[in-house]
Structure 1
């Protein structure tokens, strides 16, 4: 093993069991968890993000959760800065950072670097949101096919946030986002990185878990959580926080667009679509040790993998 302390990444689609396994690992090795989740950063968004409860956080503290107001944007570039600082702080104590989550864009920003893309433009974003309200996101995805076909192949028609960003970059620069991303500089990271990926062999297993978890979230008070966000008066569905799966669907139900059963159905479908995108991203990750999370004794297999990596630590 290198003299430099490593960074371990535990990746996986939503509902694959990452948090439970990460907490188990912290009880066995000198790990400290850094969350890699674009929704858990927000305060007041606990149920719908499956944020760890107080008891779990006492046993296994998580960095980069619950520190932003939902009105504030958070970017991959800001995550990279925050994660690098957290990694340095954890290493300084002689412990090992364990990055846990499913926001694959954040992993890519940290591990593969960022391209020189323009900052977000609120005016262009508002215009695209308004056009999507009239035409639908599938129509905007067809527009993306015309201006950046490579990005359109990567981005699902049901992924409004990434469609909007790709069209925004083209509107700001006149160039395809794919072309600009090819200038990404690979980071010179000063520590070894090990990637572990939880991946279901059977998608039906994950779909069943997603449905059960979303139903449990609704029963646990997701509706009241979203209502508390709505009554603030300063939040809207154009904000990144409210694009999180589940929140948009419950918000639209509370706004009278459809009933509770339809909100639950749409929330489950949106979560399955998110999981599919996460798995697609994971398949392109280099040097990823894949562990099938729908097989028996998955925690034991993760422990053995970690023990092989860490040796005598």
Structure 2
């Protein structure tokens, strides 16, 4: 067996695991053009409709030519958890194999990849009625009240959560209301991982590029986002979805958060669209350095203040994206340490290990998949190639 795409078994599930701005999408396009693959997105930001520029989502034409599953599947006002992702991916993998294709999982949401290769506990799916009840509770009484409920019913999970973890707190409350069992108890149940499916041959290709090279790529991509109108995209989002609030997962995405802060600091009229955004702006303006500078009359020209805030936004977005890439690298190393070597899978096409192979660049992966025939038989091989 080797990594050349022509020689991959028909039951292969191929994962391209790489940080933001590393070039994985371009390689996914090339692999799709071979006719052997269907692309499944593993990106927790691409799921949102109308969030295109700031997520570096493929263009409409690219998505038409290179279809991606799990892109544009929900509105920014909706939520999507890991359990939903796993269920969707398992169905899509089965469908791809039935179509005679190899599912190509591509993205940088490492929490999703950990669920695929390490598994998740058997927490039940969200009940929409319970979800609505909890969100109404949140709107009426705030996150403090939900956290107090958890302190009574699930003190163990509270040790892992901060008050800022709105999504996890609401999810834990939902689970307890729905099942009368604490989330911390559910999390202790045995994990099941899709990669353990005996009818599938799972291969993960994990790319951890040179950090300086990646930082340059991140900076260039952010420059392109600003030029394409990232700020205007966020303004249009708030106009189209007035029910959006600062605590929603979509509004906490890297880049979007920094733009929202910029709009608050510059007192953009869109931030008056709802009480939640007015409150967000006021809280931010109390302690933000730029706003304090304005109040102290160090900057009196409104255009200078705007320019200062704009540069601050760009600097913070750059830093946040670099930090995201750093966290992604940490998750990737955790993936590589997973103990899959003893898990031998016997299929009618041979004996396989669920495995993750490490690379230093997307170029290396491309050479292995499209040009070279390289055999592998052991867990976490370090494949080397000219860069």
TM more than 0.5: yes
* SS across alignment from 1:276: helix
Match of 1:143 in 2: none
C-alpha distance 171-84 of structure 1, shift in aligned 2 (>3 A): closer
Match of 2:235 in 1: 227
* SS across alignment from 1:34: strand
Q: 1:150 & 1:130 partners in 2: Cα distance?
A: 16
Match of 1:96 in 2: 102
Report the CA distance between 1:128 and its aligned residue: 11
The answer on 1:276 being equivalent to 2:282 is no
Report the CA distance between 1:117 and its aligned residue: 4.3
Report the CA distance between 1:59 and its aligned residue: 2.8
Residue 6 (structure 1) aligned to one of 5, 12, 15: 12
Report the CA distance between 1:52 and its aligned residue: 0.7
Residue 197 (structure 1) aligned to one of 206, 211, 216: 206
Equivalent runs, 1:16-35 vs 2, <5 Å: 16-35=22-41
- How big is each residue's C-alpha offset from its partner over 1:261-282, in whole Å with a ceiling of 9 and x where there is no partner? 1111111111111111111111
Residue 53 (structure 1) aligned to one of 59, 63, 69: 59
Match of 2:367 in 1: 300
Report the CA distance between 1:179 and its aligned residue: 6.9
Report the CA distance between 1:198 and its aligned residue: 1.4
Match of 1:165 in 2: 168
Match of 2:251 in 1: 242
Q: 2:328 & 2:51 partners in 1: Cα distance?
A: 21
Report the CA distance between 1:54 and its aligned residue: 2.6
Question: Does structure 2 retain, via aligned residues, the 8 Å contact 1:125–1:168?
Answer: no
* SS across alignment from 2:39: strand
- The TM-score, its normalising length taken from structure 1, stands at 0.78
- The TM-score, its normalising length taken from structure 2, stands at 0.64
Question: Does structure 2 retain, via aligned residues, the 8 Å contact 1:151–1:177?
Answer: no
Could you tell me which runs of 5 or more consecutive residues in structure 2 were left unpaired when the two chains were aligned.
2-7, 145-154, 268-280, 282-289, 291-308, 339-354, 377-387
Q: 1:125 & 1:206 partners in 2: Cα distance?
A: 39
Question: Does structure 2 retain, via aligned residues, the 8 Å contact 1:8–1:96?
Answer: yes
Q: 1:51 & 1:245 partners in 2: Cα distance?
A: 14
Aligned residues: 287
Question: Does structure 2 retain, via aligned residues, the 8 Å contact 1:35–1:64?
Answer: yes
Match of 1:206 in 2: 214
Q: 1:122 & 1:306 partners in 2: Cα distance?
A: 53
Question: Does structure 2 retain, via aligned residues, the 8 Å contact 1:9–1:99?
Answer: yes
C-alpha distance 205-114 of structure 1, shift in aligned 2 (>3 A): same
C-alpha distance 298-79 of structure 1, shift in aligned 2 (>3 A): closer
Report the CA distance between 1:41 and its aligned residue: 0.8
Q: 2:263 & 2:212 partners in 1: Cα distance?
A: 30
Which has the larger Rg?
2
